[in-house]
Amino acid sequence: MQTLHITARKPLARLLFVSVSLLLTLLFTACGGQVPTNQAAAHINTTQSNTAVVIQTQPMPATQTSCPAAGQARPAVTAPLALGKDQNIVYVDQSAAQSSLLRYDVVTAQKTTILSIAKGAITNAQLSTDGQFILFLSGLKIQMIRLDGLGLQTLYCSAQSNGIPTTPSNLFWSPNQQLAAFEEPSPYGGPSGPVVRLLDLQHGTVQSELDSGMHSSIQLTAWHGNTQVYYTILTPPMTLPLNNVYVLSVPTASEQRTNGTVAASISGFHWDMSLTPDSNTLVLAQSGDFPNYNQGASALPDQLLPPSLITTQDAHGGTLHVVYASHVHAVSSVEAIGNNTLLFTIADVPYAPGPADGLWKIQFDGTGLIHLAQGYVTLPQSSTAWTSVSRDNALYAATQTTGVGTASTTIQAFYGSLNGGTPKQFATTAAGETLTIVGWSAL
């Protein structure tokens, strides 16, 4: 484990040769000779062939929900699930009484409960790249379940340190579905920050990767391919990134480094980042900010201020290219939904949304600006290939909060066309409950 120290690729014979070459060329083309540009990851048990693979649903083998031995992990147990054509939104509905994983079919408008946990919380839930499984945190456990509600299993449990639970957090699943990075509180307690750990779902192992060090806190943000994790740094009690985007290479068993590589330098209070599905481009968004230092459930969100800027650059650093700039609006979040397209939110006044507030879409060259939805809109917390956008690339999903900072705060989940139009609400909460978009699949 490394400790972070902050500093800051003859005639008949000739005829036969040509004929065979032409035949091979035709076969290569027919079998899909072009390399896809969108991010894709095969399921752990999926094999490739020269013909189209037809996935058939298989029964889930037996799984275990009890905790593995302390400090140990289990390999993920999987079986294929055949997907369909109806786009489904997976989301978490959480109240004081229970936390539920659900999916909503946008064609039939039918809701299906995948899992409910009484008096517990489902957090950091995210869909696998193939759309068949959900990985999530539940208390001290890292758990997984298939989209049809079968195969609930516990892969890892955080242990207690001096009698205090070391609850995992900030879970991120790699695109190839074989690794998951997460954080655990330091076993030494404060003022040490959390430890970054790596769960190998294929082999059932877990290891420590990076220590935050003293008086600082690493915040994982995204996977770059399957071998690097991007992260930022906080200095408590601040709740916003301090500066810079760092790169951690995993696994690091044979590496000796004392610091993360800086992918991008950035200063200020409020900024956000996203990686394109092909992992080639880093998107940064930033606005002015008046931080709210009051902590607790009654604290209002930080007051964002203009000007705002959204830029792109090579994922490992380089020249900035401006996508969007405004002297009058405050950008609150950004998410790359394609290799040349992004979503972003504007939050000029969160407790009294203005006409420009809400969800927007834009191309990287600054064209195609569309106001998709109005209000105090929040993009999903975990950014993966299909978090906000349907698998047919036609729809988006997000949440909207009303009554921010009051006792009657409610959240509405909605979806709409990426070409614009009136969004459709599919779920809402009572006061004090929460809704979180997990991502899109198809059944």
Which tens digits make up the pLDDT trace of 332-373?
999 999 999 999 999 987 667 789 999 999 999 999 999 999
Cβ–Cβ < 8 Å for 372, 388: no
pLDDT reported for residue 120:
84
- Per-residue HEC secondary structure of 102-122 comes to EEEECCCCCEEEEEEEECCCE
Least confident stretch, 6-10, 105-109, 339-343: 6-10
The reported pTM is: 0.84
For residue range 159-196, what is the model confidence (pLDDT) as tens digits? 866 666 678 999 999 999 999 999 998 877 666 778 99
Any idea what DSSP says for residue 259? S
Q: How far apart are CA 248 and CA 9, in angstroms?
A: 21
pLDDT reported for residue 431:
83
Q: Residue 292 pLDDT > 60, yes or no?
A: no
Share of the chain above pLDDT 70, in %: 78
pLDDT reported for residue 227:
92
pLDDT reported for residue 298:
45
Q: Residue 252 pLDDT > 70, yes or no?
A: no
Closest CA to 68 of 204, 194, 203: 204
CB atoms closer than 10 angstroms to residue 362: 18
| Segments of 235-276 assigned E as strands | 243-249, 261-267, 270-275
Q: Residue 46 pLDDT > 80, yes or no?
A: no
SS3 18: helix
pLDDT reported for residue 21:
42
pLDDT reported for residue 392:
96
Share of the chain above pLDDT 90, in %: 60
Q: How far is CA 344 from CA 227, 262, 310, 356, in A?
A: 27, 24, 9, 12
Mean pLDDT confidence for 90-99 = 93
Q: For residue 238, what pLDDT band results from cuts at 50, 70 and 90?
A: low
pLDDT reported for residue 103:
98
